[in-house]
Amino acid sequence: MAQIGTQLGRVVERKRAEDQLIHDAFHDPLTGLPNRALFADRLARAVARSHRHRGLVFAALFIDLDRFKLVNDSLGHLAGDTLIIQVAARLGACPREDDTLARMGGDEFTILLDSIADVNDAVRIAERLMRALEQPFLIEGEQLYVSASIGIAASSLGYESAEEILRHADLAMYRAKTLGKGRYEIYDHTMHERAVSRLALETSLRRALQKGEFVLHYQPIVTLESEEIVGVEALVRWRKSESELVYPIDFIEVAEDTGMILFLGMWVLREACTTMARWHKEFPRTPALTVSVNVSARQFAQHDFVQQVAKVLSDTGIRPETVRLEITESVTMVDSERTVAVLTQLRERGVRISIDDFGTGYSSLGYLHRFPLDILKIDRSFVSQLDRGEEGLQMVQTIMSLARNLGIEVVAEGTESPSHVAHLKSMGCDVGQGYFFSKPLESADLSALLEGGD
């Protein structure tokens, strides 16, 4: 009997091990959710059922976290894994009992809505998912805000395979990212054409980097009282041909998504510093002209970003105090402790720090004092409201008061009319930038403007 019991125990143990192997083969080890293989199997079954029962409608949702790579780059992969686990828990509470939530890998999730009345049911689930992510996540003592871009593909369009419907949900997700992130999009047939165009743009952009087709234009930054040029902002342009100039709004997002922004951003900094060092010699002033250069979140997240900046300063011979690096509010929302450390190191090297487009993230007003900043640039969307009533005036006035209390210089972007100048001067703003003074100019044209002003 004992021998029979032992053999039975071995059989049970072997069966348990086999069951565990099968489970592991079809589930994500980090979150415990179904993995890509299990999701693909269930999606294929749904497609097959829809062929047998023409009235059956189902949908696939493709979910991608926005700016997740920035979390990994700044806080590390362990923090990224913790965030994924917490996100999975929140997402898991949203679908219905018979639906399938899976992790495809990285920061990508999918949901199979197995039986729905129409695409509006899928939309309601997508909205529920986005609401679930609204509250901050606590990671290593830091509050992180995470949004997601969601693509929806419904079987009502007619699909022959699981791969096709999943690919279309993926395309819809990328469309959501293109339109601003933190939203959902429903697949339609025009998205395929846009995807082909985006791939062509990515290819052209890589070729442009290799061939050196990018140029810098410089927009003057002036005193509101005397309209004296005290600095410039370097703005990148893509010269595709003698007659075609492409602006950042048409290519920066692709550069960000593909990582090409790392090379392009450092080229912009080096080119701008080289040009400004030359202008300092040609047009000596006291104080010297400053140059403002935008820094992307992906650049800032690089572990050796400070060292890269220091090398450019050394190589170009520019005076560090004349360089202003412009970061956006989104940079400060990811890892405030690291942000403070990096900004402090840059300031110790003499570089001045500017926060760009300020006011678009109004919630950050309360903790602005935590960061070592020198300049605050009021976003053009608020300056444009100065002529339109008390609300616009009040917002700019609030920002001005905060900056004064913190001892931070203010630059008003988008200054485009005499009334803008008058309002800003009455609030105590001394410096502006915008088309009222000058559009961005090629370096030769700005040289002529500086020569005429001396």
Q: pLDDT tens digits, residue range 352-396?
A: 999 887 755 544 555 677 888 999 998 888 888 888 777 778 888
pLDDT, position 215: 97
Q: Which neighbouring-strand residues pair with 319? A: none
Average pLDDT over residues 54-81: 87
Whole-angstrom Cα distance, residue 50 to residue 251? 40
Beta-strand relationship, 290-294 and 229-239: parallel
Q: Cis omega before residue 287 (within 30°)?
A: yes
Burial of 262-293, coded b for 16+ CB within 10 Å and e otherwise, reads bebbbebbbbbbebbbebbeeeeeeebbbbbb
The first and second tokens of residue 404, run together, are: 């004064």
| 347 CB-contact burial (10 Å; exposed 0-12 / middle 13-18 / buried 19+) | middle
pLDDT, position 363: 45
Is the pLDDT higher at 18 or at 94?
94
Is the pLDDT higher at 354 or at 52?
354
Is the pLDDT higher at 188 or at 237?
237
pLDDT, averaged across the chain: 88
The first and second tokens of residue 359, run together, are: 């006011």
Q: Answer whether residue 51 shows pLDDT above 90.
A: no
Whole-angstrom Cα distance, residue 34 to residue 25? 9
Confidence of residue 12 (pLDDT cuts 50, 70, 90): low
Is the pLDDT higher at 166 or at 145?
166
Is the pLDDT higher at 335 or at 373?
373
pLDDT above 90 covers what percent of the chain? 57
Confidence of residue 20 (pLDDT cuts 50, 70, 90): low
Whole-angstrom Cα distance, residue 284 to residue 279? 8
pLDDT, position 75: 79
